Structure 1
Amino acid sequence: MRIGLALLCFAYVLSQFYRTFLAVLTGPLAEDIGAGPEDLALASGLWFLVFAAMQVPVGSALDRVGPRRTASVLLLVGGGGGALVFAVAQAPWHVSLAMALLGVGCAPVLMAAYYIFARVYPPALFASLAAAVLGIGTLGNLFAAMPVTAAAETIGWRATMWVLAAVSALTALGIGVLVKDPPPAQQGTGGSFLDLFRIPALWLVFPIAIANYAPAAGVRGLWIGPYLRETYGADPATVGWAATAMGLAMIAGSFAYGPADRWFGTRKWVIFTGNAGALLALVALILLPPMGVWATTALFALLGLCAASYPLVMAHGRAFVPDHLAGRGVALLNLLAIGTVGLTQVASGRLYSPGITPPEAAFQPVLLLYAGLLALALAIYLLARDRTD
């Protein structure tokens, strides 16, 4: 089981990489195939939307056929195939197609690990284990920053994608051989996603599941690069370092949130306080005048640190879900989180207003979208019932 979980964890590193690497390839893709920020916002949004849509079949497959076949088949077809399509892209729509396929391939890997945690390990450890996988997986954010910048400059972005296609395929094959499925649930049989909506406590967890991940994922995955280039004239190396700083903050946040429910005896108030900090970072980015590259990067890093509550939100929701619906339960929460990222990515591309002055004003509607969504979710989440296992 440990070797299989290690492979699933590495697959999640790839998943985090694929959702964020476009931010540092905006320059080369614009030069080679004419892909502008709006094109890449659409492509990035498609990754998240397809990823989210796949949670319905993924959740059912986890409960019915197990994590081994679910993760290995989809990662091989979507991950390996999507990277190949990206490597041979000749137009912006090819990038969108590739990102959609990559969304299919990445959809099951984290949920496969979470399903194993939910079925095999004590409930009180779920948040810590979930946070550990998320924190390690977020290393993909770092690989999507400076290493990709260096690889694209050294061997070109196409050769880089060929290598990633091979790595994705080999990882999928390893999962198919080494991951072990948990035994069947002993209590309860059958069920569907509709049964989850009959659990009243989940309805007040849904809003924070919808909103907690979108701001950090959207900024880190797409907007940090254009913001720093347009506002401060930052070069690719500076953008890479800034993206790395935000990625490190997200990793630190994931590990900090993991055991916090056991430290403080509450999940709800840890989640609420952390996301309130993320909201303050967004408000500062909207209202404060430009403060320089590194001060702005510090605010982006604060956003990433505070908004890393995803594993604890998953644990809060999972606590209300019976074992025989565990796969569907974690998949539904993931659908809400990732689906919102996709929708806001597409919407942010339309809200972005290039060419206006001052340059930072072009990004204020994008930041307002994220801030408003998070503020509304926090207001509703105040009514949620706490549960700590």
Structure 2
Amino acid sequence: MTSPTTTSRVPARAWAVWVVGLLAYAVAIFHRSSLGVAGVEAQERFSAGASAISLFLVLQLAVYASLQVPVGVALDRFGSRKVIIAGALTMAAGQLVLALASDVPTAVVARVLVGAGDAMTFISVLRLVPLWFPGRTVPLITQLTGILGQVGQIIAAYPLVTLLHTASWTPTFLGAAAVGVLVGVLVLVALRDTPPGTQLAPPSTMAEVRRNLAATWAEPGTRMGLATHLVTQFSGTVFALLWGYPFLTTGQGLSAGAAATLLSLLVVVGMGFGPLLGRLCARWPMRRSNLVFGILTATAAVWTVVLLWPGRAPLWLLVLLVVVLGTNGPGSMIGFDFARTWNPAERSGSASGVVNVGGFIASLCTVLAIGLVLDALTPGSSTAYSLDAFRAAFAVQYVFWALGLVGVVRHRRQLRARMAQDGVVLAPLTTAVTARLRHRSAYAHPRQEG
């Protein structure tokens, strides 16, 4: 492998490639969110209840999570450009099917296609970052990728809804499909996997693919990234994606406007916190796990206060909860940084895929568990969930926090033991090792330095 440049100056071509990849990711978020903002219209079009519409979300998340590792393997084999194009066209096909669908089974197929295309996009864009940018900027650019991609959710929430109300269902989703095709064409024309002169050797046989995947999983840094993603992401995702709004309105008695404002605040906090977290990771790479512990402690602590508060929580406490949950998304990005620094570039796709499974599996399980607890504690088919029912339901989060914490602690211990065997003194950390971790390669992989 010939390494990408490690100079501090970022060439204009790198920014151009990143912007194209970022646009592809933002459009993927747009496709992911499009049905959620059209939930009422979907119920009317398909004559379906809320539970059927919720099934769309669960299946979409399940497809997304289940494809992360296969997509990661394909990414190492074929590169970001081809995988992003495949994802864009798959999502466009899903939106086309949804535009023409008139029944629930067809709509489910459409959302499965959207979930599959969505699964191909994010980790493909992340793979571009360490290949095009100097090492110390990688954590910051990674955070910006996750944050700015959320613009797609804003596009879904406003222009798409406006078009839906003025042009009806079919033209709206045909337009969404056309956007996917246009993005695929733009990626084909303007995006390149690596800078000129950089050569990555992809696996050429299935045996090599299996060996690469096994080596990726055997790497404690990959598993630490997965545990990090799991323990930091799911609480904020579950709150923003499904159960936060009913908890705030039905459980805590807030108005619809106040609940929407708090959910918007969650996104704003993430946008502000992400760049700061990226700079901290770049400045102190050996202290990234401390940031994870801090985010986990703050999240579990504020949830504990909210759930134990006698009666409905005061507004200031709910605002504090949302602010802390806003750190969860940026915190989960640290998991990808672990995968980047402890795997060679040839395995970056599969490593990112493994990491990305953690938070989404935890989110999916938590969404389902909260629903089951609420249904078990609520008479009949009523959706008038009590505050006590919400308290019991959200308590399932402690199980996943515990699992994730055990994983982070265990794999951090393994990493540090290996570094100690290699003669690295952790305190104070040697300048050479710090420099390696701030760039693309970790102490255990000097071959990455070219």
Same fold (TM over 0.5): yes
In structure 2, distance between residues paired with 1:298 and 1:26 = 29
- 2:291 corresponding residue in structure 1: 270
Q: Structure 1 residue 330: deviation in Å? A: 1.4
Q: Which residue of 2 aligns with 1:185?
A: 200
Partners in 2 of 1:33 and 1:359 — Cα distance?
A: 30
Any idea what SS the aligned residue of 2:327 has? helix
The 5 A counterparts of 1:225-240 are 225-231=245-251, 232=253, 234-235=255-256, 240=260
Show the counterpart of 2:350.
328
Between the aligned partners of 1:280 and 1:149, the Cα distance in structure 2 is 37
Q: What corresponds to 2:419 in structure 1?
A: none
Would you say the 8 A contact 2:221–2:338 is kept in 1? no
- 1:73 counterpart (62, 86, 91): 86
CA distance in 1, matches of 2:114, 2:202: 35
For residue 276 of structure 2, what is the amino acid of its counterpart?
A
Taking the TM superposition and a 5 Å limit, the aligned residue runs for 1:49-88 are 49-76=62-89, 78-88=90-100
Aligned: 1:372 with 2:399: yes
TM-superposition CA deviations, 1:146-167 (whole Å, max 9, x none): 5555554454555443332221
Report the CA distance shift for 1:168/1:69 in structure 2 as closer, same or farther (over 3 A): same
Q: Tell whether 2:203 aligns with 1:203.
A: no
Relative to structure 2, which stretch is displaced further, 251-260 or 284-293? 284-293
Unaligned stretches of 5+ residues in structure 2: 1-12, 417-433, 439-450
Q: 2:236–2:325: 8 Å Cα contact kept in structure 1? A: yes
Separation (CA, whole Å) in 2 of partners of 1:163 and 1:296: 38
Q: Give, in whole Å, the separation in 1 of the partners of 2:202 and 2:100.
A: 49
Task: State percent identity of aligned pairs.
Answer: 19
CA contact (8 A) 1:38 1:349 kept: no
Partner residue, 1:312: 334
**13-22 vs 264-273, which deviates more?**
13-22
Deviates more, 1:98-107 or 1:350-359: 350-359
Deviations 1:131-185 (A, max 9, x none): 1111111223333445555554454555443332221221112112211122432
- Structure 1 residue 52 displacement after superposition: 2.0
Query: SS state of the match for residue 342, structure 2?
Result: coil
CA distance in 2, matches of 1:23, 1:366: 22
User: For 1:17 and 1:284, how far apart are their aligned partners in 2?
Assistant: 34
Q: Secondary structure at the match of 1:197?
A: helix
Aligned equivalents of 2:318, 2:158: Cα separation in 1? 19
Q: How many residues align?
A: 387
TM-score for the superposition, normalised by structure 1: 0.86
Evaluate the alpha carbon distance shift between residue 348 and residue 21 of structure 1 in structure 2; reply closer, same or farther with a 3 A threshold: farther
Match of 1:48 in 2: 61
- C-alpha contact (below 8 Å) 1:228/1:293 kept by paired residues: no
Correspondence for 1:281: 302
Read off the aligned partner of 1:268 and give its amino acid letter: S
Q: 131, 134, 141: which one pairs with 1:129?
A: 141
Following superposition, the deviation at residue 34 of structure 1 comes to 4.3
Quote how far apart the aligned CAs of 1:57 are.
2.8
- Tell me the equivalent position of 1:248: 268
Helix, strand or coil at the partner of 1:184: coil
Structure-2 change in CA distance of 1:369 and 1:146 (3 Å): farther
Q: Distance in 1 between matches of 2:243 and 2:261?
A: 14
Larger Rg, first or second structure (1 or 2): 2
1:4-43 aligned within 5 A: 4-43=17-56
Residue pair 1:41, 1:345 contacting (<8 A) in 2 also? no
For normalisation by structure 2, the TM-score amounts to: 0.75
The answer to whether 1:258 aligns with 2:270 is no
Amino acid at match of 1:71: I
Change (3 A) 1:361 1:8: farther
Say if 1:342 and 1:49 are closer, same or farther in 2 by CA, change over 3 A.
Answer: same
Separation (CA, whole Å) in 2 of partners of 1:335 and 1:30: 30
Distance of 2:106 and 2:388 partners within structure 1: 31
The CA deviation at 1:59 is 1.6
Q: Which amino acid aligns with 1:375?
A: A
| Aligned alpha-carbon RMSD (Å) | 3.1
Compute the displacement of 1:292 (Å). Answer: 6.5
The 3 A distance-change label for structure 1 pair 154 and 349 is: farther
Q: Shift in Å at residue 373 of structure 1?
A: 0.8
Q: Is the 8 A contact 1:42 1:345 kept in 2?
A: no
Given that 2:81 and 2:187 are in contact with CA atoms closer than 8 Å, whether structure 1 keeps it comes out as yes
Q: CA deviation at 1:229?
A: 4.2
**1:9-42 deviation per Cα after TM superposition (whole angstroms, max 9, x unaligned):** 0121123334445554444434443444433333
Sort the Cα spacing of 1:239 and 1:147 in 2 relative to 1 into closer, same or farther, 3 A.
farther
Of 335-344 and 9-18, the range deviating more from structure 2: 335-344
Shift of 1:240: 4.2
Conserved in 2, the CA contact under 8 Å of 1:131 and 1:255?
A: yes
